[in-house]
Amino acid sequence: MLNEGRDVARHCAVWGSPIGHSLSPVLHRAAYAALGLHDWSYDRREVDEAGFAAALAGLDATWVGLSLTMPLKEVAFRSATTVTTLAAVTGAANTLVRDPDGSQGWTAHNTDVHGITMALRVAGCTDPSSVLVVGSGATARAAIAAVSAPRGRVVFMVRDRVRPETLAQARQAGLAVEVVHLGEWATAADVDAVVSTVPPASVPGLGSFPEASEGSRRPVVLDVVYGSGETALQRAARDRGWAVAAGTDMLLHQATEQVRLMTGRPAPLAEMSHALRLALRDRREDP
């Protein structure tokens, strides 16, 4: 992206609502420091769906990248002038990067897919062919895109019904689809991974969470929420022999892709990971 003209300030930020908890500034600022991009800045801004269009239109040409969190991933996708394949497949963008032609347009990316893939891989789940996804929103669609097998399987755990666009994505990918109600954990017994994309307090029935299946590798639970310590789902999974992937690993790896896309440089993973560990430690110690 825009890595030339380093005497000109470049601005990036994370937008969402709520946004005060976001650790994205920690990661991106650590990357800029390691890369010597001292004229780059990265901040956070409270923006909701109603205010998104005006906020985006108000950015001048020094703004080169945005990270988007809830509830902006779909409205950001619709605002882009160019859409990458993964963003198109998922119908959601967690990243907007200024088009390189100097226009006022933006390209939509979905680096959540990379974040989920890497978080599962770090926990020992490589190339999952079957996944139980709690929820069916934008992040759930990123989890579906992380299923590698062309004839894989996805189980949706939802309160009511699966969102039509999410169901369509799974079927277009050739995945076998099952739907269960929240708290019905029997089908989790034979999947490679469980990915929860909903608030931890809304995940019921954990007393019936299954024991890890026997096999060459342990199944993995990924709760994408981070920042409040271990969730009830993570505790239940760990107690029953599952491997647990940290939501912060997803955060870290989706951010490395954002840094690469926004700056045009390979992301300094070690420095970003170190900064994240320090921030998490400080957050735990903060009374």
Q: Using a pLDDT cut of 70, give the percent of the chain over it.
A: 94
- Judged on CB neighbours under 10 Å (0-12, 13-18, 19+), 200 is middle
Whole-structure pTM value? 0.92
Q: Is residue 3 part of a domain?
A: no
Q: What share of the chain is helix, strand, coil (3-state, %, to 5)?
A: 40, 20, 40
Same domain, 58 and 152: no
Statement: residue 284 has pLDDT above 80: no
Residues 14 and 105 in one domain: yes
User: Which CATH number is 66's domain given?
Assistant: 3.40.50.10860
Q: Is residue 196 part of a domain?
A: yes
The answer to whether residue 1 sits within a structural domain is no
pLDDT of residue 217: 79
Mark whether 103 and 139 lie in a shared domain: no
40 and 146: one domain?
no
Residues known to be catalytic: 73
Q: Are residues 241 and 258 in the same domain?
A: no
Q: Are residues 75 and 135 both part of a single domain?
A: no
Count structural domains, the chain.
Answer: 2
Q: What residues make up the domain containing 219?
A: 124-245
Phi and psi angles of residue 190, each rounded to the nearest 5 degrees, phi first: -125, 30
pLDDT confidence tier of residue 7, bands split at 50, 70 and 90: low
pLDDT digits (tens, 9 = 90+) for 209-257: 999 987 767 999 999 988 778 899 999 999 999 999 999 999 999 999 9
Q: What CATH number does residue 241 fall under?
A: 3.40.50.720
Q: For helices 269-285 and 24-35, give the axis angle rounded to 10 degrees.
A: 140
What SS3 class is residue 142? helix
With bands split at pLDDT 50, 70 and 90, how would you rate the model's confidence at 285?
A: low
The answer to whether residues 178 and 98 belong to one domain is no
Q: Are residues 166 and 217 in the same domain?
A: yes
Reply yes or no on whether the pLDDT at 208 is more than 90: yes
C-alpha 75/C-alpha 87 separation (Å) is 12
Q: Which pLDDT score is estimated for 4?
A: 47
Whether pLDDT at 1 is above 80:
no
Do 103 and 179 reside in the same domain of the chain?
no
Q: What is the mean pLDDT of residues 32-42?
A: 97
- Please tell me whether residues 132 and 238 are part of one structural domain: yes
